[in-house]
Amino acid sequence: MPITTTRRRLLAGSAAALALPAFVRAQGAVKPRLTAISQWSAGSDGAAITALGKKFEEKGGVGQHSPVPGFTTEMMNKLRAQIIAGDPPACSQLKGPEIAAWSKIAPTVDLDAVVAAADYEKVVAPDLAKLHKPTGKWIALPLQIYSTNMLFLSKRALDKAKADKPPVTWADFNALAEKMKTNGVTSPVGTGGTRADDGQKFEASLAGISPAVYRSAIMNLDKKALEGPEVKAAFAQMRKLTEWMDPNVGAQPYATNLKRFIDGDMGMLIMGGWAQGVLKNAGFRLDDFIIAPGPSDNGKPVFLLNADAFIFWQRKEADLQAGQMLMAQLVMDPAIQTMYSQITGSIPVRTDVDLSGEGWSDGQRTTAAALKNAMGNNQAVLSLAHNMAQENGLTAAMIDVFTEYAKNKTIKPEEAVARLADAVEGAR
Amino acid sequence: MTSAASTATGRPATSAMVRRLPEYLMIWVPLLLSAAHLISFSIWTIWISFTPSTLVPVAGWVGLRNYNAVLASRNWQIAFDNLLLFGIAFVLLSLTTGLLLAILLDQRIRGENVLRTIFLYPLAVSFVVTGTVWSWLLNPGIGIEKLVHDLGWTTFHFDWLVNRDMAIWTIVIAAIWQSSGFAMALFLAGLRSVDSDIIKAAQIDGAGPIRTYWRVILPTLWPITITVVVVQLQFAISAFDLVRALTNGGPGIATQLPALVVYDLMFQRSQLGRGAAAAVLMLLILLAVLLPYAAWRYVRGRQAAHA
């Protein structure tokens, strides 16, 4: 029976072929490989992830990064599709409460051993660490930290207003904005018109008025705090901000108007530290602007924490598993965090990195000092506008209220308070 | 035509069947595949709309909870009002613009081919491009308003794009620019197919050009008009890319449309169940347009058969 023999041979041959990689694995000769998806494709973010990929390859790995440009949610759609198809990437960008939510739909990698080996836990802020180990085990690693309420001041606009000091409280801020307006700065508050922009205006207002109320109202959704006087005051402050913004911005992203900001046509920008990377990448000089902590009525910096992270999805392939371990080690490495943050304008997750050396800007030093200070005073809170405080559904429902309020000046602060409470109720 | 030919030559039916097999395959296989695709996914979406699915689809039954949540949400209410306004304004205006262009082109003018291409050209541009271009043109800070200001008329005011009461009209403008060429092409074909004897008869009877159009030619166009209305309406109901590029639902949430709400719920907010419910509601709106159209076609077909 010649046919059977052939079949048998074929089977034996393919079995051998299949067994071969396992054999190689046993030899420890497997080349670490990493499939990764993130939203970082261009500008300083793209440059940073490319640099990280190079480091990965220098260590003998093969990196396969597939960027999904746009908002984080766009990246999540690809992630969802891959998870449903049973083929998740070895690692993907994900952050905040989404780490806990997504880890329920697909198995993740237990990183406890590699984190313990690097003695990493003690150099990460406890609030942040908690988000990355939702069930007590590390399944994700934060990569870099931003504060979403840093205050960028245009040097030229400050010159026009004959001011040289960044404002500390909201009253200072409002006075400076008024001064800029009367001295020919067209729009004292620079901005974009995206949903996140409007969300940031509100969170910066409320956290600056009272970080404690921000924590109970926005992070813990306490009904009484949500309907309290501080939230109303925050809406009133936000209304002032919208009055100083350029109404023609429409739905443009904030980066579209950065040249006007540098030229002193827009005065102040409440934005995350990433704006520094974008400004630098666009060819502007660091001495064209000042970075200060966002306005805080009690005078002590308030830090609206936003941290990018990688989550690691379980894979059976030995080369991917090796790649995951290599990547985890790299992400925790102080030299890598330094390299990454210096490109993007963020600050390192590790609290033990020294920012006094070359390559760091004054803005980054200010941010790092603000984080330390805010953590000491319990004024480091999680950003809502950048999906750190709540899951997507709730965040979006709340931002609906902020974005409508920003664009519709007939809505009164007290109406907005009621709408916010309704939106939270409806989305829960 | 093939069937007429085969019966005329009187060949046996089986060989005719075999000969026509490629035709059947060409028509029925893709038709069945796309129907199965469409129907199975529609049923799946309807099923999901009754489940508690959020990040990924899950089994379970929550009754009408998703529907109630969607219908009670501000986003959907605004989107539905906008759809009514946008649908009616867009269909009426693109119809009249298209008809006017067709009548003007029908005057046997020189350069008709060039003009027809120009009017049809926007249709070849993707909605995302249209939306982006118009978003720059209509932006008061850099577009038309700035141009007119720079020309010297500084009191000129045209800020519809960033004015939440008027922003929906910018979508109407861009949509008309895009698709009135399509209406024009269909109407022009209709105008050209009118029997020239009828027109001559009208002229002999002393009807002027306006009267000829109004009383003689336009009444023959109404089947085309209905086709255009249905095609444009289904575009209006499912409009997504244009709005996303032009206003992205803004300022604030003033230009939300149902398709944006569906996308938002499913892919931005990770609420698959509610997103599916909104999608089913959209399907119902579409059916409200398409079912009467199908009934009308059926009745007309029967009338034609009787005649």
CATH code, B185:
1.10.3720.10
Report the gap between the CA of A53 and the closest CA in chain B (Å): 28
DSSP A313: B
The CA R_g of chain A, rounded to the nearest whole Å, is: 24
| pLDDT tens, residue by residue, B25-58 | 888 999 999 999 999 999 999 999 999 998 888 8
Question: With an 8 Å Cβ cutoff, are A249 and B56 in contact?
Answer: no
CATH of the domain at A121: 3.40.190.10
List chain B residues with CB under 8 Å of A393: 54, 269-271
Q: Do B268 and A246 touch (CB under 8 A)?
A: no
How many interchain CB pairs under 8 A, A with B?
A: 85
Contacts of A73 in chain B (CB under 8 A): 267-268, 270
Average pLDDT over residues A397-425: 93
Hey, is B88 helix, strand or coil?
Answer: helix
> Would you state the pLDDT for residue A26?
42
| DSSP-assigned states of every residue in A322-352 | HHHHHHHHHHH-HHHHHHHHHHHS-B-S-TT
Q: Is residue B47 part of a domain?
A: no
- What residues of B are in contact with residue A74 (Cβ under 8 Å)? 267
In this prediction, residue A192 carries a pLDDT of 85
- Of A135, A58, A144, A164, the closest CA to residue A332 belongs to A144
Q: What φ, ψ does residue B206 adopt, rounded to 5°?
A: 95, 15
Query: How far, in Å, are B31, B38, B282 from residue B35 at the CA level?
Result: 6, 5, 19
**In this structure, are A44 and A97 located in the same domain?**
yes
Interface mutation vs chain A, best among B134, B168, B261, B269, most A CBs within 10 Å: B269
DSSP state of A247: G
The answer on pLDDT for A156 being more than 90 is: yes
The tally of CA atoms less than 13 A away on the side-chain side of residue B181 is: 15
Residue A275 and residue A177 share a domain: yes
Q: Please indicate if any CB of chain B lies within 8 Å of the CB of A197.
A: no
Q: Which residues span the domain enclosing A115?
A: 30-144+307-344
Residue B97 CA, distance from chain mean position: 15
Residue positions counted in chain B? 307
Give the bridge partners for A36, in sequence order: A65, A91
> Are A248 and B159 in contact (CB < 8 Å)?
yes
CA dihedral A35, A38, A41, A43 (to 10 degrees): -130
Residues A267 and A326 in one domain: no
Share of chain B above pLDDT 90, in %: 45
Does A157 map to a domain?
Answer: yes
Name, of A131-145, B98-112, B152-166, the range with top average pLDDT: A131-145
Within-domain flag for B230: yes
Q: Across the interface, do B54 and A393 touch by the CB < 8 Å criterion?
A: yes
Q: Would you say residue B193 lies in a domain? A: yes
On whether both A395 and A422 belong to a single domain, the answer is yes
Q: How far apart are CA B157 and CA A243, in angstroms?
A: 19
User: By the 8 A CB rule, do B86 and B239 touch?
Assistant: yes
B62 or A70, higher pLDDT: B62
In a domain, A367, yes or no: yes
- Total domains, chain B: 1
Residue from B44, B48, B54, B55 to probe the interface with A (highest A Cβ count within 10 Å): B55
Q: Does A190 share its domain with A51?
A: no
Please determine, for residue A195, whether its predicted confidence score (pLDDT) is greater than 70: yes
d(CA A274, CA B133): 28
CA distances from A245 to A260, B251, B276 (A): 12, 14, 37
Confidence of residue A3 (pLDDT cuts 50, 70, 90): very low
Judgement on whether residues A133 and A57 belong to the same structural domain of the protein = yes
* Nearest residue, CB atoms, B251 vs list A73, A393, A407: A407
Most B CBs within 10 Å: which of A80, A99, A104, A248, as the mutation test of the B interface? A248
In a domain, A394, yes or no: yes
Q: Which amino acid is at B71?
A: L
Query: Given this model, what pLDDT does residue B12 score?
Result: 60
Whether residue B93 is contained in a domain is answered as: yes
Query: Which of B55, B141, B264 lies closest to A102 in CB terms?
Result: B55
CA dist., res. A368 & res. A351, Å (int): 8
**Residue B209 in this model has a pLDDT that exceeds 50:** yes
A247 lies in the same domain as A376: yes
Arithmetic mean of pLDDT, A411-425: 93
User: Which residues on chain A are in Cβ contact (under 8 Å) with B161?
Assistant: 250
What's the farthest any 2 CA atoms get from each other in chain B?
82
Q: What is the 3-state secondary structure (H, E, C) of A61-83?
A: CEEEEEECCCCHHHHHHHHHHHH
Is B32 part of a structural domain of the chain?
no
Residue B56, classed as helix, strand or coil, is: coil
A70 touches chain B (CB under 8 A): no
Is residue A100 assigned to a domain? yes
| Least confident stretch, A37-41, B73-77, B138-142 | B138-142
- The Cα of A168 is separated from the nearest Cα of chain B by a number of Å equal to 30
- B42's CB contacts (< 8 A; 6+ apart) are B283
Q: If you write DSSP's letter for every residue of A91-103 in order, what string do you get?
A: EEE--THHHHHHH
DSSP string, B184-204: HHHHHHHHHTS-HHHHHHHHH
Whether residue A409 is found in the same domain as residue A330: no
**Same domain membership, residue A298 and residue A319:** no
Looking at A290, A319, A344, which one is the last position of a domain? A344
Domain count, chain A: 2
pTM of the model: 0.80
Residue A253 and residue A196: Cα distance in Å, rounded?
Answer: 9
- Which amino acid appears at position B291 of this protein? L
How far apart (Å, rounded) are the C-alpha atoms in residues A346 and A307? Answer: 9
ipTM over 0.90: no
Please check whether residue A353 lies inside any domain of the structure: no
Interface contact A105-B55, CB threshold 8 A: yes
**From edge to edge, which strands make up the β-sheet containing A150-154?**
A187-190, A266-271, A150-154, A289-292
Its domain, for residue B222, covers 74-306
B260 domain-assigned:
yes
> A298 and A315 share a domain?
no
Interface test with A, best of B134, B244, B270 (most A CBs within 10 A): B270
A397 near B CB under 8 A: yes
Buried b / exposed e along B91-102 (16+ C-beta atoms within 10 A): bebbbebbbebb
The answer to whether B269 contacts A393, with C-beta atoms less than 8 Å apart, is yes
Q: Are residues A157 and A233 in the same domain?
A: yes
Burial label for B159, CB within 10 Å (0-12, 13-18, 19+), is: middle
Confirm or reject contact between A102 and chain B (CB < 8 A): yes
Query: What is the pLDDT, as a whole number, of residue B194?
Result: 85
| B22 within some domain | no
Same domain, A180 and A268: yes
CA dist B258 and B279 (Å) reads: 8
Q: Provide the token pair at B25.
A: 């395959």
Choose the closest CB to A407 out of B69, B250, B271: B250
Which residue of chain B has the CA closest to A424?
Answer: B73
Residue at which a domain ends, from A344, A373, A406 = A344
Of A344, A373, A391, which closes a domain? A344
